A and B are shown apart, each in its own frame.
Chain A
Amino acid sequence: MGSNAAENHPISFKWLTEARDKRGAKIISVDPRFTRTSARADIYAPLRSGTDIAFMGGMFKYILDNKLYHEEYVKWYTNATFIVKDSFDFDDGLFSGYDPQKRAYDQSKWAYETNEDGSYKKDMTMEDPRCVLQLLKKHYERYDIDTVCKITGTPKNKYLEVVKAYAATGAPDKVGTIMYAMGTTQHTVGTENVRAFAMLQLLLGNIGRAGGGVNALRGESNVQGSTDWALLYHILPGYLETPEAKKHSNYQAYVDALTPKTGYWQNKPKFLSSLLKAYWMADDPVKSYDYLPKRIDGKHYEHIALFEAMYNKEIEGLIIWGSNPIVGGPDANKEQAALYNLKWMVAIDLWQTETSEFWTYKAVDRPTDKDVYGIKKPEEIDTEVFFLPACNSYEKAGSVSNSGRWMQYRWQACDPVGESRADLQIVNDLMLRIKKLYEGSSKPQDEPITKLTWDYGHGDHPDLNIIAREINGFEVVDGKPGKLVANFTKLKDDGTTASGNWIYSGCYPEDNGKDEDYLARRRDNKDAAYPGTKPIGSYLNWSWCWPVNRRIIYNRCSATPEGQPWVPDLTSIFWNGEKWVGNDVPDFGGTKDPNGPGGRDAFIMRPEEVGCIFSKRNEGPFPEHYEPWESPVKNLLNSQELNPAVVIWEPDKKADPEEYPIIGTTYRVSEHWQSGVMTRMQPWLAELVPNVFVEMSEELAREKDIKNGNDVIISTTRGDIKAIACVTKRFKPFNINGKSYHEIGVLWHFGFNGFANGDPANRLTPHIGDANTMIPEYKAWLCDIRRA
């Protein structure tokens, strides 16, 4: 659901096929249109884009009404038993504590009841009307199957087939997994969509167990790594929050505000201190904390926010690195116009991208004369653009992290072409030159640069082993690297240790002068089993996995409350009477007795130490269905049309459904990659999908007099694009509350460069994002279509 694994993650699909052949697994595909994944699924059910929460809510209700949840699991490993304070309430789409002016909630209204000693109040029978399980039941009472199907447009029999098949995994001896991707996240309710998956998996007892989980299929091979490494504005490496200028004005203020009193995050100061030490090894972390850049309290810095700022002339320079926003960014016409306001731009990529060539004549062409944001000709643009050629992943060495958190090293296959260089070389060179410019400065404001520790060897390419050792962490002796630490449990908050990223600490625990000291380079493909058990696919000596080589996090859940496997054949870890052993690294103090105090607190990273069915997100503790920003129908479940906590950047760009009645969505195909920079330049791939096309139902095509293969114009309030019609039986109109609605889907890979080219579909998509992450709502918007 929310992913098209066969097309966009073809290798992952191999394992689904294997699970079906060897273990009789059933594959369910839920997607607005019938995809290559659906073609290989046992059950296919369509849903209208943007109605995932309604779909999931109906599942919750069915599971709760029929008591199909995994009761023991829910009781011990989730907060279903927790009592919530009376200040929590829900009425007609709004939770308590909403401020309509700020479009934000006062989340303190959603607190747990506590005992006098500060511990959480629980009802182990889960019958108290204020316990999470009962509140959940109450919240999803409205999500009966008829109402759900009226919203999602899913045929009722198909919906029931999916619900029944998946709810069956609530049996203690069954496990189910959810594979999701951008179909889930790219909505104004993206975070809550994923939350709903997590809740479902908790209810059915499918988290922390082999074969279970909520599995994010990443948009590319190192998205996990880039998040771990904080390629986002709100975190530092290892998921430490970036400091805000006023709230976290000094080291102590940060530590006080952001260190929870329970759960493993109590150790946060050790990780922060070690990170600061890795950055500025000679300084005390309390001082070097001041060197960290701080963000303005409460200000948005996400992709959409940055481009809004650029559009409003607040930003004058941009380094665009392996990114192609005027193809891949939402409201691409606006993002292109935003670039005109830059004084300078550096683009780093394998080829000239549409973004690096936004100032050329090619970037001016439009299929109609609609021009919402003022497209400029080259002579009207003053931005100075620099291009640095980067090399391909095969032309360099280094590690990538997959969505299972394996840090896998890749060896270089061949030399880079021409003057292209590895990203690491470019960044190293850049930093060395910046340091040189500041050399000798004694100004205090220059200290973050003059005092920065930057010593990765003397070659043209930085030494990967030095970097890996710094990531792993070491003791700092006299401001210099000392002995390597075994893992993050050895990190300290007093400035005596350094580690570039605490979650990766343990990837290079000893230096014996061998290649495999860097554990990401391990390649032992034997799936050894613990004596007396069957192998479960852990491959513990293949590469390395954070944290501490643990392949399944929260694997305490793989055992019963008493510490025995739920299923003997599927033993992850178990209690042998003295300690936790098995086929994985226990995510739980190795000798903590399951029947002793805290012996069932399975989710160690949470302050509650259990999985959260009730959890604070910006729009509420339970996911509630809201319509996409642009929707042709009214919300049937509450009178809030849109997620009440999202930022509305461009109120005037919201489409009138009378004028733009058709639901639009975007997606990828196997044959192209992201914004197409790497694939549209390849003739063999261009041959497979040579043009941008739009998929639509035969019914819509008839209505609009469009024939298969015709050129069509798709328009939204943001702009128009031309595409080729792919009229197919695989897309069907949706019956929403008794009325028929059409949806179309456009490939977003295309731009004006390359052997395969065409208009970027993102000229159609809106500048609006999720309430927690601001991920753009690429997947559901309104448009109209006509023959060109």
Chain B
Amino acid sequence: MVNYLWGGMILVSIVVAGAQGNIEVITSSMFDSAEKAVSVAISLLSIMAFWLGFMKIIEKSGLINIIQVILKPLAFFLFPQVPRNHPAMNAILMNMSANLLGMGNAATPFGIKAMEEMQKLNSRPEEATDEMCTFLAVNTSSLTLVPTTVIALRAATGSLNPAEIIGTTIVATFVSTFMALLFDRILRKRNRQEG
């Protein structure tokens, strides 16, 4: 599906630009974006190095155990196939707590770490496991309690009450996460992992 989406986006773009007499946009856009992608990767590198370094401190100090106590029941329910003491579970818990606090850029490194650990439990390494799909559902719909970035943005644009959207955001994020998890369960059966 990703193959068709990716190929389709590029082909549609070329056709649309051509039809509108804008074909010269394509070449410049392609190379500008490629350059942008590398700078995004570099900023990801710095963020990842920082948060993974920090996670190690959290792990070694035993603070991870305190965080785990709070989120464990939810994580065990969502990811029954991941062994409870496996490093994958630690990374999943860190990813979930970063998401809840609205620390999006901290959630990504923990999320990738969790994927790497879950991949070690995967018997068909080219194909996503049920747990991975559920994990992606949680992350694409991003369960957030405090939308830190948006609050900061509202404050910066002169809002009289930047935090007033916390309530509505929690409702919307809860609905999107619930629906994502629900459809994850429904589609999982239709879309069984081969073998």
**A and B: real partners?**
no
